[in-house]
Amino acid sequence: MPQKVLIRDHAPTPRRPSRPAARRGLVALMCACVVLVVGMVAAINLAVPMLAASALHPSASALVWIVDTYVIFFACLVIPGGAAGDRFGRKGVLLAGLVLFAVGALVSAAASNVPLLLLSRAITGVGAAAVLPNTLAVLLHAVPAERKGATIATWASMTGIGGVAGNVGGGAILSSGSWRWLFAAAVPISLVLAALTGRVAPVSPRHDRRLDPLGAVLLVGASVALLLGIVQGPEAGWGSTVVVAGFVCSAVLFAVWTLVELKVRHPLLDPRLFRVAGLRSACLGMTAIFFGMFALFYVNASFLQYGKGFGVLRTGLGIIPLTVPIILGARHVGRLSRRIGLDATIALAFVFVGCGLLGLSASGARTPYAGYAAWLIVTGVGVTLALPTLSGSIAGSLPPAQAGVGAGLQATTREFGSALGVAVIGTVLTARFVSALPPDIRADRHPHTVAQALAATTPGRAHDVVTAFVSGADSGLRAIGVAVLVLGGLVVLQSLLSRRARPE
């Protein structure tokens, strides 16, 4: 078997940051990169009402695609992004990702039609996939061995902080009145981060790690086809050619991807890993938690603006109660897990998330925000219990030599769950919204979004449109809450069975 060849970057290798102040600066810089790419996942949800009412006139399915195109390319390419960093240099790929992110954001800000916006969102997602894994790789190369654990913990916490920053920062930017400013603001930020990274980040060794472009293309194609079937259902009809073809193509591409990955020497993601029951259940659990959380983000942004009349900045701040348990309780989860057991902690997490979503589904437009916020806190407790527990399960199911695979799996399952959650709740919301509209409004122009319905009727009928939307949001959250509880039950059952089957 040929040995891996270690190759040094051609540029002179700067010394690793040896002073604590320099290391802290590098950690802060890499964390800022993480917050940027993760925050964009959350921030775009705030812009959905603006996009719906914009001159682009997107359909309900197009709105979901505007959110999900970025997320799905991010999810499917984050592992190849890490592999490219190993082969071509982590710093170089990180810089390329930041520049690509800036290019995609710039084109998004200037997009004159929906197809161009979708293309630019895909470019931005590719850039994000190059950024995320290589920030951690750069950090681990730069810090001493005794600081690696603390550095990983700090880096991982940025994925949660990124969601908060995306909501709050996105709300502040969008309060200017145009969705284009959200993308325009990301351009200078990413370019400044690229300039700082080029100046202070160390150059790490490169490894002769083969890439798997076919596996990446098949995974993206299968995921897009699956979302196509889900998203187009309400508008095209569930028996339509495009929907059926989407599901069939997804199944075929996933099957081909599995066969290819089993045969290739250096697979993108080895399907044999999922023979490990603990890893399989933890990945399903991570997908389910982000499925519920980002479905909530998608509906919350429009619900607070349409249903409660919040401005966009207040809407961004309105999600903060969800994060309070994460900030205050994350450090106590390990102690609780040791006391009541891993499976009990995971079960409790899913009960809180599922019941929190069901509680939110009952919080109509007339419920005071305080009641709505209370259910956000309940959901946040579940997320707080789930994330470190499931992350530990994924990492603990793999040998130390495959730590990079574990990190890539966590990122992929998080982002794929996010994309799936947005697609499913967007589908349920649209179907229920259209059916709840008064017949005369529904018959005129066949509206599928609140903006279309409001444009098709008189101002005196706006209340009927908003009532139909709130009904759709409630139905969507109820469906997601039930799905999270069912998936949580499967995760816990599989975990229990795997432990019982494990030899003493």
**pLDDT higher than 60, residue 7:** no
**Is there a contact between 72 and 220 (Cβ–Cβ < 8 Å)?**
yes
pLDDT for res 18: 53
> What φ, ψ does residue 346 adopt, rounded to 5°?
-65, -40
**pLDDT higher than 80, residue 142:** no
**pLDDT higher than 70, residue 467:** yes
Distance separating alpha carbons of residues 182 and 186, to the nearest angstrom = 7
When pLDDT is averaged across residues 139-167 and rounded to a whole number, the result is 76
Sequence spans of domains, the chain: 15-209, 212-265, 273-504
- Alpha-carbon dihedral sign for residues 56, 60, 61, 65: positive
pLDDT for res 140: 78
pLDDT for res 501: 62
> What φ, ψ does residue 12 adopt, rounded to 5°?
-60, 135
pLDDT for res 483: 95
Max CA distance (Å), the chain = 75
> What φ, ψ does residue 177 adopt, rounded to 5°?
110, -5
Same fold, 15-209 and 273-504: yes
CATH no. for 273-504: 1.20.1250.20
pLDDT for res 408: 77
When pLDDT is averaged across residues 173-178 and rounded to a whole number, the result is 88
**Is there a contact between 214 and 190 (Cβ–Cβ < 8 Å)?**
no
**Is there a contact between 9 and 206 (Cβ–Cβ < 8 Å)?**
yes
Q: Does domain 15-209 have CATH number 1.20.1250.20?
A: yes
Distance separating alpha carbons of residues 321 and 327, to the nearest angstrom = 10
**pLDDT higher than 80, residue 9:** no
pLDDT for res 202: 84
Query: Across-strand partners of 206?
Result: 7
pLDDT tens by residue, 40-82: 988 999 999 999 889 998 988 899 999 999 999 998 888 888 8
Cα distance from N-terminal residue to C-terminal residue, the chain:
36
Residue indicated by tokens 């707080």: 384
Give me the amino acid identity at 380: G
Write the CB contacts of 352 (distance below 8 Å, at least 6 apart in sequence): 378, 379, 381, 382, 385
pLDDT tens by residue, 285-310: 999 999 999 899 999 989 999 988 89
**Is there a contact between 495 and 343 (Cβ–Cβ < 8 Å)?**
yes
Q: Which pTM does this prediction carry?
A: 0.85
Q: Closest Cα partner for 20 from 28, 32, 8?
A: 28
Q: What DSSP line would sit under 292-316, residue for residue?
A: HHHHHHHHHHHIIIIIS---HHHHH
Q: Which of 237-246, 442-451, 463-472, 489-498 has the lowest mean pLDDT?
A: 442-451
CA 107 and chain centroid, separation: 21
Question: What's the whole-number average pLDDT of the chain?
Answer: 85
Of 382 and 86, the one with more pLDDT: 382
pLDDT tens by residue, 221-250: 999 899 888 888 777 778 889 889 999 999
Of 150 and 223, the one with more pLDDT: 223
pLDDT tens by residue, 118-127: 999 999 999 9
